[in-house]
A and B are shown apart, each in its own frame.
Chain A
């Protein structure tokens, strides 16, 4: 069934890594095949942060095929070479796990399509996120396991969205885990709870327009669909409103950008969402207990209605 959670601090920063971990851990009964975080950290905004993987987690429960760790090194070398060819300079490099890396890159272009296509032309390499604030971290296991593995509890920022996944229609692997990056847009991420029933029709249409899919997870369609709408000139909110009729099925999803956070609910309101909204904080999740992990005191919450789209700015 999956669980989603998100929060946005308005006018200040907070320890969003730790806060989102608490929210997602409260939802772990909704699925702990994998957990993902999209964290919008405080940065100087000069460099891009690229989170990418050169292989899969093949630990217990994984549906991925075991590979020799040496291939990860080979792929990393090619990534470094391609970055150099693209004119991108690696400012800082962190290899969190053998298959998962974080680069800070000095790169002077706004069009990330060519950049992403070149990097992802390397077999086994996937950019998890690219942006000047966004960092997508996703892996197998529950929220605490992933948070501990990647040391996310100290990350300070303004907003974040996350996902606790129960795999139903695609594999237990990182490529099918949420959040999805809104490729090729800087700092756009999506998490989703539900099922989309016109996935293949939409996928074929979008692929014909040059958009890329990395998994067979239906939720990835939302990220690609909204990215395509934005590519055509729509605002985030306009793209989300278009999705209410363009996407068929049941869904509640969150989209985040560098300075905003949005939610959309399908026209049948079939998937849950509880929302808390105040002047300085918006927190939402599939269940109230997620919100209670950051706001234990008595608060006023509500369920957004069918077909509702909301967007908040930091």
Chain B
């Protein structure tokens, strides 16, 4: 992980003449300092009551209108919101940075629940491409299928699809967990950097292609491994974690996790060694 501490002294890059400005800013430690917790204000958040429930019919609304109304309801303290008639509209529920119970009675289009931090969401339908992109925290459960790029670049939270998902699931993910009850398409875990993916069914070709780090667990058949994705031993601690996670996800609780295949990065593509490019080619 990058060192985010503020430093006043000359860095190596400064000494090398790559830049001259002195880098300043809040350090990561200061940002999360519990002593200053009361000063921490997360823009766009509200105190909500989960027992305060309402319904919102978005049939005649555009996505921006619907999202604005969700924000308005949160500002009034509603902690449980049921969305009626989403009808495959794009970009619904994006940018929610709140604790919130959100229930969609129907399917979402592209980019549903993108860039969220904290809500608990249940979608009683299907989702299109790039569902929950950049999710930071929270739990999102999809009752049916999902399109491609499911959970692209998520940083945290649990993203669960009870059906099957398309190609490039978990592409570029940097944390969190993706759990799929059915099958997944090609390039699952493409360039993932951290986090975990669990697929109970089959996966397509090029699984984990160019993954930097993270772990993928597959319950079914694997089309093919991608570049630098390699099988690894399934440990007892992995099995315990899988059982726990599948229970929390309300999915595959009785699934025999001992038969799962674990995939990790071979780290041959890492640029953290002294090999020249032509030597690296030989190493792979």
Binding site for B on A (CB under 8 A): 267-270, 272, 274, 287-289, 291-292, 296, 298-303, 305-306
| B48, CB-defined interface residue at 8 Å | no
Contact between B126 and A301, CB atoms less than 8 A apart: yes
**Of B109, B163, B204, which contacts A289 at CB under 8 A?**
B109
Contact between B107 and A305, CB atoms less than 8 A apart: no
- Taken together as a complex, chains A and B put the C-alpha atoms of A81 and B124 apart, in Å, by 62
Complex interface residues of chain B between 245 and 282 (CB less than 8 A to chain A)? none
Contact between A287 and B128, CB atoms less than 8 A apart: yes
**Of A288, A289, A296, A303, which contacts B166 at CB under 8 A?**
A303
Q: Give min CB distance, B100 to chain A, whole Å.
A: 23
Complex interface residues of chain B between 135 and 185 (CB less than 8 A to chain A)? 144-148, 163-168, 183, 185
By a CB distance below 8 angstroms, the chain A residues around B145 are 300-303
Contact between B88 and A289, CB atoms less than 8 A apart: yes
Binding site for A on B (CB under 8 A): 87-90, 106-107, 109-110, 125-126, 128-129, 144-148, 163-168, 183, 185-187, 204-205
Sample 8 A-B pairs with CB under 8 A, ordered by A number.
A267-B205, A269-B148, A287-B88, A298-B107, A301-B145, A302-B126, A302-B145, A303-B165
Contact between B185 and A305, CB atoms less than 8 A apart: yes
By a CB distance below 8 angstroms, the chain B residues around A274 are 128, 147
User: Which of B88, B110, B166, B186 gathers most chain A CB within 10 Å?
Assistant: B88
By a CB distance below 8 angstroms, the chain B residues around A291 are 88
- Taken together as a complex, chains A and B put the C-alpha atoms of A267 and B89 apart, in Å, by 28
- Taken together as a complex, chains A and B put the C-alpha atoms of A57 and B5 apart, in Å, by 63
Contact between B88 and A272, CB atoms less than 8 A apart: no
Interface of A is mostly: loop
Q: A269-B185, A287-B109 given. 19 additional CB < 8 A pairs?
A: A268-B187, A269-B166, A269-B186, A269-B187, A274-B128, A287-B88, A287-B90, A287-B110, A288-B109, A288-B128, A291-B88, A298-B106, A299-B107, A302-B145, A303-B165, A305-B166, A305-B167, A305-B186, A306-B205
Q: Give min CB distance, B88 to chain A, whole Å.
A: 4
By a CB distance below 8 angstroms, the chain B residues around A269 are 148, 166-168, 185-187, 204
Contact between B186 and A288, CB atoms less than 8 A apart: no
- Taken together as a complex, chains A and B put the C-alpha atoms of A289 and B186 apart, in Å, by 24
By a CB distance below 8 angstroms, the chain A residues around B147 are 272, 274, 303
By a CB distance below 8 angstroms, the chain A residues around B205 are 267, 306
Contact between B187 and A302, CB atoms less than 8 A apart: no
Q: Give min CB distance, B177 to chain A, whole Å.
A: 22
Q: Give min CB distance, B183 to chain A, whole Å.
A: 8
Kindly list the 10 A-B residue pairs having the minimum CB-CB distance in the complex, ordered from nearest.
A288-B88, A269-B167, A303-B166, A306-B186, A292-B88, A302-B145, A289-B88, A303-B147, A305-B185, A292-B87
Contact between A289 and B89, CB atoms less than 8 A apart: yes
Contact between B109 and A305, CB atoms less than 8 A apart: no
- Taken together as a complex, chains A and B put the C-alpha atoms of A298 and B144 apart, in Å, by 11
- Taken together as a complex, chains A and B put the C-alpha atoms of A156 and B143 apart, in Å, by 36
- Taken together as a complex, chains A and B put the C-alpha atoms of A270 and B106 apart, in Å, by 26
Contact between B164 and A302, CB atoms less than 8 A apart: yes
Contact between B144 and A300, CB atoms less than 8 A apart: yes
**Of B88, B126, B167, which contacts A300 at CB under 8 A?**
B126
Contact between A272 and B187, CB atoms less than 8 A apart: no
- Taken together as a complex, chains A and B put the C-alpha atoms of A298 and B168 apart, in Å, by 26
Contact between B148 and A296, CB atoms less than 8 A apart: no
- Taken together as a complex, chains A and B put the C-alpha atoms of A288 and B167 apart, in Å, by 17
Q: Give min CB distance, B262 to chain A, whole Å.
A: 23
Contact between A268 and B186, CB atoms less than 8 A apart: yes
- Taken together as a complex, chains A and B put the C-alpha atoms of A269 and B171 apart, in Å, by 14
Q: Nearest chain-A residue to B129 (Cβ)?
A: A272
Contact between A303 and B185, CB atoms less than 8 A apart: yes
By a CB distance below 8 angstroms, the chain A residues around B165 are 303
Q: Give min CB distance, B201 to chain A, whole Å.
A: 12
- Taken together as a complex, chains A and B put the C-alpha atoms of A300 and B106 apart, in Å, by 10
- Taken together as a complex, chains A and B put the C-alpha atoms of A256 and B107 apart, in Å, by 28
- Taken together as a complex, chains A and B put the C-alpha atoms of A20 and B201 apart, in Å, by 35
By a CB distance below 8 angstroms, the chain A residues around B164 are 302
Q: Nearest chain-A residue to B110 (Cβ)?
A: A287
Q: Nearest chain-A residue to B147 (Cβ)?
A: A303
By a CB distance below 8 angstroms, the chain B residues around A267 are 186, 205
